[in-house]
């Protein structure tokens, strides 16, 4: 029986359960009604894609509408791809390729210049034109050995989940405007993070603690939610461990929240996840070695669909002109483009000129948010320099003073 791809299929119970089985989370099955509540707008917009073998769902693909901040601060439409799965029993039949082709066509028809995703595995998505665009970092701290380089302003205090929910979105929105790669938080994201919206309707906010950092004017500039795991208290030796997540607008806010954790009684070590790759905040610590990077992993991958719209939407660190020949087997981004850009904006048009650089669409996605240097990608054959000096110029234009970061998994 041939596999059928259905675009606009709803988030049925079978679709929901297929996602959980594919990601080896069978205990999460039965959450179809909960997810239909979360993604009602995307379901109504026809953004779900499913593969069927008869009546059985054997492939799932969500193509959520969102926006992403690009260098310069503009927020542009983007497809946020999620819930991608193919049943183990139906691999190597072209199911993912068919769903991906349908999703890119849907995005192109909707006028979305970019498609973004967070890949479960590295090797999969480069062949569909996605490039590695941001990283994030996990740090571990030894509370007993942490200290500030100098006193920092502001105050940190506990908050209830409700207070955190009232304050955190505004902090994140200010951070999002200033951070390339940041996306909108939709679908009751904050209520879920606070533990106030759960599949079984039973709040879990008491499983974690919340804190707010206020600057000297009293404005909340940073938030933390964290959980504490009790250690071995035999002999009354402190041995608790904590795991935290921050939303912080600047290095001072981030380090003041860290200080709040490392000065707590009983907590001897703690981890903070989803930190940006920018580690300038460590200079505010007396001994930055006490912030040990334990993990660094790729998060956001970007796929350029409309080259003109995407490159015109962002700004560039230095003035310059580049002619880019972009290859794209799917055809969406294929062409030669003349880019003239600088700190105040850019103009882009198709051209018949000889290119300065030739690159596949996945490399354009890797360059787009400023995470990679063109010269570094050139050294490993990801981009070809056709005119001397073009890679160095691309470095000056595409790299960003603010490192990109996508703090929101989707």
Question: DSSP of 133-189, one letter per residue?
Answer: --EEEEEEEEGGG--BSS---SEEEEE-HHHHHHHHHHHHHHHHHHSTT-B---TTH
Joined together, the tokens standing for residue 234 give 């035999």
Joined together, the tokens standing for residue 405 give 């970061």
The number of beta carbons lying within 10 Å of the beta carbon of residue 194 is 22
Q: Return the CA Rg of the chain.
A: 23
Closest CA to 360 of 390, 321, 331, 340: 331
How far apart, in whole angstroms, are the C-alpha atoms of residue 275 and residue 313?
A: 26
From the list 52, 125, 246, 337, the catalytic residue is: 125
How far apart, in whole angstroms, are the C-alpha atoms of residue 340 and residue 345?
A: 9
DSSP H helical ranges for 231-300: 251-262
From the list 15, 39, 52, 410, the catalytic residue is: 410
Residue 82: strand pairing partners: 62
**For the chain, what is the largest distance between any 2 Cα atoms, rounded to a whole number of angstroms?**
77
How far apart, in whole angstroms, are the C-alpha atoms of residue 160 and residue 211?
A: 8
The question of whether 125 is a catalytic residue gets the answer yes
Residues marked active site are found at: 125, 410
């Amino acid at each position: 029986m041939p596999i059928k791809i259905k675009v606009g299929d709803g988030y049925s119970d079978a679709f929901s359960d297929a996602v959980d089985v594919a990601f080896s989370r069978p205990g999460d099955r039965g959450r179809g009604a909960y997810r239909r509540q979360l993604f009602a707008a995307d379901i109504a917009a026809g953004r779900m894609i499913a593969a069927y073998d008869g009546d059985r769902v054997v492939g799932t693909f969500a193509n959520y509408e969102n926006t992403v901040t690009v260098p310069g601060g503009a927020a542009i439409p983007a497809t946020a791809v999620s819930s991608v799965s193919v049943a183990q029993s139906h691999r190597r039949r072209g199911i993912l390729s068919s769903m991906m082709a349908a999703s890119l066509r849907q995005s192109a028809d909707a006028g979305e210049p970019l498609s973004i995703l967070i890949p479960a595995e590295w090797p999969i998505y480069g062949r569909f034109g996605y490039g590695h665009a941001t990283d994030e970092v996990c740090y571990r701290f030894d509370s007993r050995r942490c200290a500030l380089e100098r006193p920092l302003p502001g105050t940190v205090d506990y908050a209830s989940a409700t207070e955190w929910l009232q304050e955190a979105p505004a902090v994140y929105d200010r951070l999002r405007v200033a951070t390339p790669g940041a996306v909108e938080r939709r679908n009751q994201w904050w209520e879920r993070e606070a533990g106030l919206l759960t599949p079984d309707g039973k709040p879990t906010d008491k499983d974690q603690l919340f804190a707010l950092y206020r600057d000297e004017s009293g404005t909340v500039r940073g938030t933390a939610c964290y959980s504490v795991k009790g250690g071995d208290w035999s002999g009354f030796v402190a041995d608790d461990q904590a795991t935290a997540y921050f939303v912080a607008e600047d290095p001072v806010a981030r380090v003041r929240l860290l200080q709040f954790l490392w000065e707590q009684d009983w907590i001897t070590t703690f981890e903070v996840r989803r930190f940006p790759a920018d580690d300038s905040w460590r200079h505010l610590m007396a001994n930055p070695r006490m912030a040990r990077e334990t993990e660094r992993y790729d998060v956001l991958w970007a796929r350029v669909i409309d080259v003109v719209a995407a490159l015109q939407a962002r700004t560039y660190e230095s003035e310059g002109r580049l002619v880019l020949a972009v290859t794209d087997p799917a055809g969406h981004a294929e062409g030669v483009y003349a880019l003239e850009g600088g700190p105040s904006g850019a103009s882009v048009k198709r051209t018949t000129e000889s290119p300065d650089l030739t690159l596949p669409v996945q490399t354009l996605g890797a360059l787009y948010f400023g995470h990679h240097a063109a010269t570094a990608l050139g050294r490993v054959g990801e981009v070809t320099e056709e005119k001397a000096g073009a890679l160095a110029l691309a470095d000056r234009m595409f790299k960003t003073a603010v490192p990109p970061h996508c703090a929101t998994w989707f």
